[in-house]
Chains A and B, each alone.
Chain A
Amino acid sequence: EVHLVESGGGLVQPGGSLRLSCAASGFTFSSYWMSWVRQAPGKGLEWVASIKQDGSEKYFVGSVEGRFTISRDNAKNSLDLQMNSLRAEDTALYYCARTHDPRGWGIRTFDYWGQGTLVTVSS
């Protein structure tokens, strides 16, 4: 059974940093793209970042470009999101999601999700 468990959330001051982690199990981690998706309190979903199987390609939503980095350790089945220069608008529940292309031609789906870790940016 696929299992994704996020950790590392918490309260941080504006301008501060936080590192989120996602522990994956139940599937061949190195065979899948992985992503972070966030949801501000009471709001909709926002894709944040994705990383290719071998880490050679990384993509970010414009609002976090240059502030967030995504990385993975395939030996440890783990995914990280390093968040720097945090702003109030980064406050959200951050989900780790397995990113699957069921047709093999670019349809990126988020087919498994963790339960999320809450990041609150406030003074």
Chain B
Amino acid sequence: DIQLTQSPSSLSASVGDRVTITCRASQSVSVFLNWYQQKPGKAPNLLIYAASSLQSGVPSRFSGSGSETDFTLTISSLQPDDFATYYCQQSYITSWTFGQGTKVDIK
């Protein structure tokens, strides 16, 4: 199975901060990498697919980049609604896997 390792596991940030979360794959996944946001008690929400494509309806402050083994999710200016846990997910090889998550909370 392909392992996805996110860093950091948690971070504290303030409204307006630029936030970057990384996801490293144990082997190349090309651009078969997606990002999700999950708020407490809610189902996850797809943010980014194919490494850098913004899902319809997702604010443009979210962006993704990367390929092969190294990927980044960036929030350009953190908003109150963005405090949540973020997961990466690969679909390059079926047994699809998620990263362990990065919790973003208020500083």
Contact = CB atoms under 8 A, between A and B. Distances in A.
Interface stretch (A19-27, A66-74, A76-84, A105-113): A105-113
Given A62-B1, A116-B43, A109 B49 contact: yes
Contacts of B101: 44-45
Interface residues of B, number: 26
Contacts of A111: 46, 55
Interface in A41-56: 44-47, 50
A61 interface: yes
Nearest to A101: B91
Nearest to A113: B43
Given A46-B98, A106-B92, 17 more contacts: A45-B89, A47-B95, A47-B98, A59-B95, A61-B95, A95-B43, A95-B44, A102-B49, A103-B49, A106-B91, A107-B34, A108-B96, A109-B49, A109-B55, A109-B91, A110-B46, A116-B43
A107 B95 contact: no
Contacts of B50: 102-103, 107
A115 interface: yes
A14 interface: no
Interface in B1-59: 1, 31-32, 34, 36, 38, 43-46, 49-50, 53, 55
A114 interface: yes
A106 B32 CA distance: 8
B49 A45 contact: no
Interface string A81-103: 00000000000000100000011
